[in-house]
Structure 1
Amino acid sequence: MEANPTSKQTIIDNETQREKEEQLWSWGAGTDGQLGTLRLQDEHLPQLLNVPSLSSASSVSMLACGGAHVVGLTSSGKVLTWGRGNSGQLGHGDMDCLLSPKIVMSLESYCITQVSAGWSHSGFVSDERCVFTCGDGSFGQLGHGDYRSHCSPVKVSFFVNKHVEQIACGMRHSLVLLKDGSGNLLYGFGSGKRGQLGISIDRSKSVNAPEIIRGFDDVQIITITANADHSAALSADGELYTWGRGFGATSDFLSPQQSPSSSKFSKVALGWNHALVLSDNGEVFMLGGSHHGMLSNPEITILSKHLSDGAVLERVPGLDGIKVVDIAAGAEHSAIVTEEGAIKIWGWGEHGQLGLGSTRDETSPQTVSLGDEVERKDGTVRVYCGSGYTYAIRTFFS
């Protein structure tokens, strides 16, 4: 549930060399304000948002979608949040819900480079490599050495003077990736009852301070992600590691397990019971059960890759000849973006999170229309999923 890191140099290059127009779209569950539409209701079709708090020079460039709240990161390193705030996860010093994006003023003096949203907590990394957390801390998922909740972002003292790269927030746990002189180190804190912390051969109780995750000796981890009781990481060589709650009928993993595959992977997205994995050549694989059609083809095929514990990494059918450039997973729905900029989505649809104008589930990828489609070849689309809602950022360059 996290936005990818950015860099100040990339921001400068994009802003100075080319003018751009960005559109922010949302659909699905909206009864906590998480769609940013100013309405407390579900939306079955994509809604184009108007965000008056942003200027043309500081648009939302990345998103992290949590249980019912959203964290937005602007091109200038500022943070906006909206949606459910009952645990302080919005970081505004209160526990109010917000129907539209609002800048987190306590982070105004920092340039934030990466954000993440869990079920009811949030994490932020600054360009000075510090990490901040806020929201529900009752399982130790904020990493402050206690079980207190915080309504404003608080710097995690354990990582002071350390080089933090990323934070990933799951349902009740968090992961932090940092770089030291010898390579990368990975830490976990929060609930560990399903092995999602990866810190022990036993089922850990809640851990309220960061503990190192073993099993990555001589492995350079470059990306981490978390959702529900799952954790995952990708190495620089494109290898996939998962731990925590087992997918489908498989047992829980109490420590990181590499998924054997001849493919090299560039991105992983976790749902509650499934995962999507994007290979470096644009193919999408799924891991997990078949609840609500979130796996397009629950039958094992000759394209399936069996993991050591019996789980199956299966290629998504219906995408032959289509190169995929982005993936996202909600609680029980999935979304992808093709090389041509088309959004395709499937799975659980009860709240309209598929954006197809209905509440039906879909068992195969369906194309989502973002309003009146405009033929502009020079642009990009990125997609993000919360527990029952979906966002897209469409960018046009000129």
Structure 2
Amino acid sequence: MEAFPQLHPCLVGASFGGANSYGQLGLGHKEDVLSAQQLSDFCKPGCIKRITGGGGHSAVVTDEGSLFVCGLNKDGQLGLGHTEEVLYFTPCKLLLGCAIQQVACGWDFTIILTENGQVLSCGSNSFGQLGVPHGPRRCVIPQAIELLREKVVSIAAGLRHALAATASGTVFQWGTGLASSGRRLCPGQTLPLFLTAKEPSTVTGLENSQAVCVLAGSDHSASLTDAGELYVWGSNKHGQLASQAAFLLLPQRIEAHCFQNEKIAAVWSGWTHLVAQTDLLWLRA
């Protein structure tokens, strides 16, 4: 779940506030913080490029491609080789020398994208969210998702599922997090393979589009195309998919009139909502 959009590469520090039960704010304690406190020293001399958060852990990618993590780690979601909580942002030494492009934090797992397009995962694998179908129930060391053989350009993590978009525009999904909602809300209908797969599975219904970015909320997924179109699927409990259906088994394009016929330039996903930026406007769903 992408908690924050990509940040300006010249931003050296960052401010954190809110729930801190597991030390996910990186402040060295577990007290909730009601007003944002600035962190400016933990990643010098690099600049902060991306910030993201999961169920109880946080991750920062610097402009130099280093990965810093903190917070809840009971399933090894910090990728540090152990399961102890970490109260300060700590470099992921197991990935030193490996330039990181993007990190996506799920509830209790982490997906990592390197600059050369390889995807790694760590943390809980109880729902197949690590993309390693025959792997252990958890992994404390980042491991490559070998079935993603093509270069990946974008990743996303939801509550218990994950996605990747490749350089050719294909979207893959894995993890069974959406399956139970799909069965309950679409009785009698056959679930597509990508909703039940514990390894990367091609998302059907996107064959005529080229994805440049994927997103995930707790129980929904989305894909932005090179034509500026937004496709969505999964739970629509809070109307986040701009559809009348309670659950979309297959990707459905949100009609252009919903965005005042503007091309979509960027999209972000929260727990149960989406935010889209058009060429001229900001719109929410």
TM-score where L is the length of structure 1: 0.61
Letter in 1 for 2:75: F
Q: Which residue of structure 1 aligns with residue 273 of structure 2?
A: 333
Distance change in 2, residues 1:110/1:169 (3 Å) = farther
Q: Distance in 2 between matches of 1:90 and 1:289?
A: 29
Query: Shift in Å at residue 148 of structure 1?
Result: 0.5
Q: Confirm or deny: 8 A CA contact 1:276 1:328 kept in the other structure.
A: no
Q: Give runs of aligned pairs for residues 1-398 of structure 1, distance below 5 A.
A: 1-2=1-2, 63=4, 75-111=10-46, 112-179=48-115, 183-201=116-134, 204-217=136-149, 219-247=150-178, 248-249=182-183, 250=191, 251-260=195-204, 261-299=207-245, 311-317=249-255, 318-319=257-258, 321-345=261-285
In terms of fraction of residues, the more strand-rich structure is 1
Q: Distance in 1 between matches of 2:268 and 2:117?
A: 25
Q: Confirm or deny: 8 A CA contact 2:2 2:268 kept in the other structure.
A: no
Q: Confirm or deny: 8 A CA contact 1:87 1:135 kept in the other structure.
A: yes
Structure 2: gaps of 5 or more residues: 184-190
Q: Distance in 1 between matches of 2:147 and 2:66?
A: 25
Q: Distance in 1 between matches of 2:221 and 2:25?
A: 26
1:360-383 CA-to-partner distances (Å, cap 9, x unmatched) read xxxxxxxxxxxxxxxxxxxxxxxx
Q: Distance in 2 between matches of 1:142 and 1:103?
A: 22
Q: Confirm or deny: 8 A CA contact 1:322 1:338 kept in the other structure.
A: yes
Query: Shift in Å at residue 129 of structure 1?
Result: 2.4
SS of match in other structure, 2:198: strand
1:319-378 CA-to-partner distances (Å, cap 9, x unmatched) read 373322222222222232232213232xxxxxxxxxxxxxxxxxxxxxxxxxxxxxxxxx
Q: Distance in 1 between matches of 2:64 and 2:44?
A: 12
Aligned-pair identity in percent equals 25
Aligned residues: 266
Q: Which residue of structure 1 aligns with residue 186 of structure 2?
A: none
Query: Shift in Å at residue 74 of structure 1?
Result: 7.1
Q: Which has the larger radius of gyration?
A: 1
Q: Confirm or deny: 8 A CA contact 1:106 1:152 kept in the other structure.
A: no
Select the structure with the greater relative contact order (CA < 8 A; seq sep ≥ 6). 1
Q: Distance in 2 between matches of 1:293 and 1:127?
A: 36
CA RMSD of aligned residues (A): 2.4
Structure 1: gaps of 5 or more residues: 4-62, 65-70, 305-310, 346-398
Q: Which residue of structure 2 aligns with residue 390 of structure 1?
A: none
Q: Distance in 2 between matches of 1:216 and 1:72?
A: 27
Q: Distance in 2 between matches of 1:337 and 1:128?
A: 27
Distance change in 2, residues 1:299/1:134 (3 Å) = closer
